[in-house]
Homo-oligomer: A and B are copies of this chain.
Amino acid sequence: MEELSAVDGLAQLSFLLQRMLERRAGEHDLSIIQTRLLGVLRDRRPTINELGRLLGLDKSSVSGLVERAERRGLVARSPSPADGRSVLVTLTDSGRALINGAAAQFEGDVTGLLEHLPASERHALTRVVSRLLVAHAAAEGVELFPGR
């Protein structure tokens, strides 16, 4: 059986997963970046600036992103008690329901994908991918688990 190179295989896998995510997000009228925004807010209440750091965007881009999500009732802005210049962004109940549903569907997709493998290979994949991410995070000096 033909085998892809390591680079090609990982690249194709990455595109496949992104397509799965995009499709599920699209079913809820969410873009990938809106999905990431809601995902980040599941366990945080960040300022606009912090969101920019978490998502890798300029604060002006975050401003517009949050504005559009707020218009749809998915997030809310509230003034920061600690700093009068800052704004805290939070998920609304509706936003939380939406992201939880989309995340569950995506997890189902990936689980379904992995069912093509025998259990032993599935476990091997999980273990090796974990090690790879941990080693990469260590090399970059980034903490893996608090990040997103």
Which of A's residues lie within 8 Å of B, judged by CB?
A: 1-7, 9-14, 16-19, 21, 56, 106-107, 110-111, 113-114, 116-117, 121-122, 124-136, 139, 144-145
Contacts and interface: CB of A to CB of B under 8 A. Distances in A.
Q: Tell me how many chains of this kind the complex includes.
A: 2
A134 to B, nearest CB: 7
Contact of A7 (B107, B132, B135, B139): B107
A131 B19 CA distance: 19
A135 B117 contact: yes
Given A124-B124, A132-B114, A14 B18 contact: yes
Contact of A126 (B9, B56, B111, B139): B9
User: In this complex, which of A2, A56, A130 has the most chain B Cβ atoms within 10 angstroms of its Cβ?
Assistant: A130
